[in-house]
Chains A and B, each alone.
Chain A
């Protein structure tokens, strides 16, 4: 492994904790986020972990963590700093930014930072868009590797194995590159207390949208949010025979009779 002294930017999002059961508000305006625990998006945790591992491997020597949101998203930035990122940047934004907004903000940040590797979660577990990384790559006119399950950085190029329908696809691309992380890329570590204490001394900058000359997009408007149709619990059967005969009569598919191959 050569020492590249590369710069990485990791974008992270503050979302409802994945353990919290989501409920739709009674007025159907949105989901109910009051009094719920918020955490770093799990895919973003994987992105932070990967950046830290690249740093530990001597490939990356500077990790900037960016989060876009109200002041309390600094909590998640500090969490990333405690995990091993070097610098934090909060882009103050009190409303929900769309994937294109986030991509444009990161593009602006890249103009100052000149990072070699962008690491993003493949999607956030709230809006489930799976768009930001691809959009950022488009705006930067650089290659993208989405849903990464393995990342190798060598000689200013990235060799990334992606999880795709039907299997795995390995591609090679020059830096700079945008990589989005999938579940099996790594298992994120827990923050250690001494690192949390040290992280207090790491820089955390704040910028506004005005600083970056960004105006938010308005093309997608949330009209309402509803609960998914509730599926009723069904009938408990007592034996395999009963199951087969029930499926033959009720399921709208052809269940082969004994002896015939499908």
Chain B
């Protein structure tokens, strides 16, 4: 049997999350197809065909797919189910929206947020906000999984000379009742949270939207992404999509700097798999220090500008 990965892309390149999903899919040891749905994606598809480990690139090009909705995608993908034992998506908001819709149409349950593939039908996934790890067996005829990208890595192989076959799907566009109204993207030249090597996160102690500039300055010096605790997001200091935590983004960068973040359990669940964690907080009792590799008890308004200046 084969594995199908549903790609996420920005029309020009695959998202890092999809490459990590490929890394996870390779552990299943089966041929891998990649489905790219979108509009004007021929160049992207050709590029994808050079990625080592992909056997076939399926493309579905339609103007209505410029912004792809699950209502449109799910029936088409569900119809492919007889060819695949596994359908993998990244645990992104795209993947989480789409995977269950496909699964229901296939008549199976999906598995969310897989963090370890033990065998082609046994997996680990976090439950209770990461306070417990469940080992589950999936006996569905077609297994639909979302992959928590912080737990896997993208393949490191160089582009392959032998191109994968690119195959255009010919399917009728399902009727979608959903109409796009608008999208507000947080514009940023910084790396994306879920693929950044370094993340600098600020908490409520930062105090205001304006004060977040100290966080941005340090992040820019480090080439880091910026994140935030839920408290900082709820206080309106920073956009919601930059929230790190159980209900926001789950990240695992090489270096995570938690600045003025007390370390509520929900936040820890979103970053505790980072390779090196540094906590800077003026409260020596803050729970964040219990997970940090390095801690510094200091006023962030002294320490962070000092750090920025010395880098």
Contact = CB atoms under 8 A, between A and B. Distances in A.
> When A and B assemble into the complex, do they touch directly, with CB atoms less than 8 Å apart?
yes
Interface of A: 16, 21-22, 24, 31, 98-100, 103, 125-139, 142-144, 146-147, 149, 159, 162-174, 182-184, 217-228, 231, 233-241, 243-244, 246-247, 250-253, 255-258, 261-262
Given A135-B100, A236-B297, 8 more contacts: A142-B177, A170-B184, A222-B136, A224-B135, A233-B290, A250-B276, A251-B275, A255-B222
A243 B294 contact: yes
B130 interface: yes
6 contacts: A128-B127, A133-B100, A138-B100, A149-B240, A170-B181, A253-B197
Interface string B169-208: 0000000111111111110000010100110000000000
B221 A261 contact: yes
A258 B109 contact: no
Contacts of A159: 181
A14 to B, nearest CB: 15
From DSSP, what is the main secondary structure of chain B's interface residues? mixed
B112 interface: yes
Given A135-B103, A240-B296, A228 B138 contact: no
A99 B100 CA distance: 9
Nearest to B179: A172
B272 A231 contact: yes
- The prevalent SS among residues of A at the interface is mixed
Interface in B287-311: 289-298, 303, 306-307, 310-311
A11 to B, nearest CB: 14
B55 interface: no
B112 A130 contact: yes
B296 A134 contact: no
Given A166-B241, A220-B138, A100 B181 contact: no
Given A220-B111, A240-B306, A253-B255, A167 B93 contact: no
A171 B127 contact: no
A231 B276 CA distance: 11
Contacts of B110: 99, 129, 131
Interface of B: 69-71, 74, 92-94, 96-105, 107-113, 122, 126-140, 176-186, 192, 194, 197-198, 220-224, 230, 233-234, 239-241, 246-247, 249, 254-255, 265, 272, 275-278, 280, 289-298, 303, 306-307, 310-311
Given A221-B136, A235-B294, A253 B97 contact: no
A164 B139 CA distance: 31
Given A144-B70, A168-B183, A228 B132 contact: yes
B282 to A, nearest CB: 13
B131 A146 contact: no
B93 A147 contact: yes
Nearest to B220: A262
Nearest to A163: B240
B276 A227 contact: no
Contacts of B296: 236-240, 243
A225 B100 contact: no
Given A100-B109, A166-B186, A171-B180, A226 B223 contact: no
Given A99-B100, A134-B104, A167-B184, A234 B292 contact: yes
